[in-house]
């Protein structure tokens, strides 16, 4: 179907690294191949952090990728794309300019008459005719976004690129604007017929897209492309619409919550230094112990759909998936399909006292190769004091696709919560935890598990759990502050 249409934007083997060439380099997109042809609405869907915004900016020529080519109408794109206009989530208006001043910005090179004619037309289209001389501070969020859309449309772009354009708006305003954009796209007399949009909202994606590009993280990549040929205007209650929504639920869950998270941990082999025992650590999702315990307290005996969980928590799907992944890595939940199911160990955790919760978490995280690496690194140091910077360097070497500093913070947060390590904030060194007056010797706290990953599930507790409290105790993890991070 699309082959007959002219390709407008083409991405060929595009990868992007922020801070390329520095020790903080961060590969956010890997080998993206995608073509947007005229009369298509391509929606980039995926959890936050998978590189959607970066990708749409690359398409608009606002970011040059570190690898690969971007073509516009079959010509190599250098600089800002001549045919693509962007609408930003946070409106990006100049507060010192009126609506008129903001909207006219992209067409300053045209004659005054031409500018005026376009301005009147575009303000009419977005329903802002009466607000030409208002300042952004005098407008509601929805009206500000109308200005953003008018500014994008005034240049008669061939492609309208929108980065989460409705997510900063209240539900009703977002609904109204969505309908209006939908009408523009469906209007055969309006020149705008091609759109690229970023969202993490599945229903929004199905509402607009002719193709939904589902992205995955670590590094950001295209997972699946789902075509959507439902006719416009689309009815969100139509069974076919719901079917595509369900299909995307399934894909996103499978992509972001693979069933084998726990099974993968510790089984990756690599050529590393001897003290890493030739076993690559698996990264920890960047969440705190408190978040995992909070999630556990919500789970009942019945499996719970991860999308329902996200709704109950009022959190973005991707954020909930990160917490679920951490819980799965620690063997507190299983994730068959898109369900989250508490394990016997998870149940024990929920009904335990705060001290026992720490013990259970400690036993579980000591099974992770990344903690094994940490403990070994501390033990080979003189005085068993591991400089933070050295740990960051080791993390970078062991997990080259991870951002070492956030990972360092996560490790520290879990290690301190579970009383495995402590941080000397003055000297920026990490030591093994030594319990004060509790009789728990540090050697006991850090006795290493065998190199081979232990079988699951974990051994039952030595002592019976305390009576279950109605609301399980959730202790805030000891989060290291940014002061803990050595300045680079």
Residue from 2, 5, 48, 89 in contact with ligand ADP (CB under 6 A): 48
Residue from 5, 7, 18, 486 in contact with ligand ADP (CB under 6 A): 18
To the nearest whole angstrom, how small is the minimum distance from the Cβ of residue 404 to ligand ADP?
13
Question: Is residue 50 within the footprint of ligand ADP (CB under 6 A)?
Answer: yes
Closest by CA position to 35, among listed 66, 60, 63, 72: 72
Please identify, using beta-carbon distances, which residue of 28 and 87 lies nearer to ligand ADP: 28
- Give the separation between CA 96 and CA 485, rounded to whole angstroms: 38
Q: Which stretch binds ligand ADP (CB under 6 A): 30-38, 41-49, 245-253, 472-480?
A: 41-49
Question: Is residue 410 within the footprint of ligand ADP (CB under 6 A)?
Answer: no
**Distance between first and last Cα of the chain:** 52
To the nearest whole angstrom, how small is the minimum distance from the Cβ of residue 406 to ligand ADP?
9
On whether the CB atoms of residues 42 and 199 are closer than 8 A, the answer is no
- Give the separation between CA 22 and CA 24, rounded to whole angstroms: 5
Question: Is residue 167 within the footprint of ligand ADP (CB under 6 A)?
Answer: no
On whether the CB atoms of residues 423 and 480 are closer than 8 A, the answer is yes
Residue from 30, 54, 194, 396 in contact with ligand ADP (CB under 6 A): 54
Please identify, using beta-carbon distances, which residue of 166 and 332 lies nearer to ligand ADP: 166
Question: Is residue 144 within the footprint of ligand ADP (CB under 6 A)?
Answer: no
Question: Is residue 35 within the footprint of ligand ADP (CB under 6 A)?
Answer: no
> Locate tokens 């941990």: which residue?
265
**What residues contact residue 95 under an 8 Å CB cut-off, 6+ apart?**
135, 136, 137
Please identify, using beta-carbon distances, which residue of 211 and 359 lies nearer to ligand ADP: 211
- Give the separation between CA 281 and CA 373, rounded to whole angstroms: 7
Query: What tokens appear for 233 in the block?
Result: 């205007």
Q: Which stretch binds ligand ADP (CB under 6 A): 18-26, 78-86, 127-135, 167-175?
A: 18-26
Q: Per-residue string for binding with ligand ADP, 296-335, x by CB under 6 A?
A: ----------------------------------------
Q: Which stretch binds ligand ADP (CB under 6 A): 50-58, 152-160, 224-232, 355-363?
A: 50-58
**What residues contact residue 199 under an 8 Å CB cut-off, 6+ apart?**
43, 44, 45, 52, 164, 167, 205
Residue 119 burial (CB count, 10 A): 18
- Give the separation between CA 154 and CA 103, rounded to whole angstroms: 7
Residues that bind ligand ADP (CB under 6 A): 18-19, 26, 28, 46, 48-54
């Amino acid at each position: 179907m699309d082959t007959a249409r002219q390709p407008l934007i083409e991405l060929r083997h595009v990868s992007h690294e922020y801070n390329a060439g520095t020790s903080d380099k961060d590969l956010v997109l890997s080998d993206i191949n995608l073509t947007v042809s005229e009369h298509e609405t391509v929606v980039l869907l995926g959890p936050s952090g998978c590189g959607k915004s970066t990708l749409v900016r690359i398409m608009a020529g606002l970011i040059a990728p570190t690898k690969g080519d971007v073509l516009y109408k079959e010509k190599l794109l250098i600089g800002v794309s001549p045919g693509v206009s962007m609408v930003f989530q946070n409106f990006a208006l100049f507060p010192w300019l009126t609506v008129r001043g903001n909207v006219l910005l992209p067409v300053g090179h045209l004659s005054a008459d031409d500018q005026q004619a376009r301005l009147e037309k575009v303000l009419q289209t977005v329903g802002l005719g009466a607000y030409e001389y208002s300042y952004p501070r005098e407008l509601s969020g929805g009206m500000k976004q109308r200005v953003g859309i008018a500014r994008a449309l005034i240049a008669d772009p061939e492609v309208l690129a929108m980065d989460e354009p409705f997510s900063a708006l209240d539900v009703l305003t977002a609904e109204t604007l969505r309908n209006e954009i939908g009408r523009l796209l469906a209007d055969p007399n309006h020149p705008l017929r091609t759109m690229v949009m970023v969202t993490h909202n599945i229903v929004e994606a199905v509402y607009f897209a002719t193709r939904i590009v589902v992205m995955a993280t670590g590094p950001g990549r295209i997972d699946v492309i789902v075509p959507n040929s439902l006719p416009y205007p689309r009815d969100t209650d139509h069974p076919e619409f719901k079917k595509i929504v369900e299909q995307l639920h399934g894909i996103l869950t499978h992509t972001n919550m693979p069933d084998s998270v726990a099974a993968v941990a510790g089984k990756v082999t690599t050529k590393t230094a001897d003290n890493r025992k030739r076993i690559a650590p698996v990264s920890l999702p960047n969440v705190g112990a408190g978040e995992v315990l909070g999630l556990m307290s919500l789970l009942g005996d019945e499996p719970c759909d991860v999308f329902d969980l996200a709704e109950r928590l009022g959190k973005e799907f991707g954020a909930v998936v990160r917490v679920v992944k951490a819980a799965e890595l620690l063997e507190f939940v299983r994730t068959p399909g898109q369900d989250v199911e508490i394990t016997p160990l998870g149940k024990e955790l929920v009904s335990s006292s705060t001290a026992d919760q720490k013990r259970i978490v400690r036993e579980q995280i000591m099974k992770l190769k990344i903690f094994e690496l940490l403990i070994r690194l501390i033990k080979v140091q003189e005085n068993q004091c591991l400089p933070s910077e050295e740990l960051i360097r080791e993390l970078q070497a062991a997990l080259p696709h991870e951002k070492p500093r956030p990972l360092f913070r996560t490790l520290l947060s879990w290690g301190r919560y579970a009383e495995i390590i402590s941080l000397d904030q003055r000297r920026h060194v990490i030591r093994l935890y030594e319990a004060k007056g509790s009789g728990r010797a540090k050697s006991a706290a850090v006795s290493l598990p065998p190199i081979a990953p232990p079988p699951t599930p974990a051994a039952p507790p030595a002592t019976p759990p305390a009576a279950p409290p109605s609301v399980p105790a959730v202790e805030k993890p000891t989060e290291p502050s940014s002061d803990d991070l050595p300045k680079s």
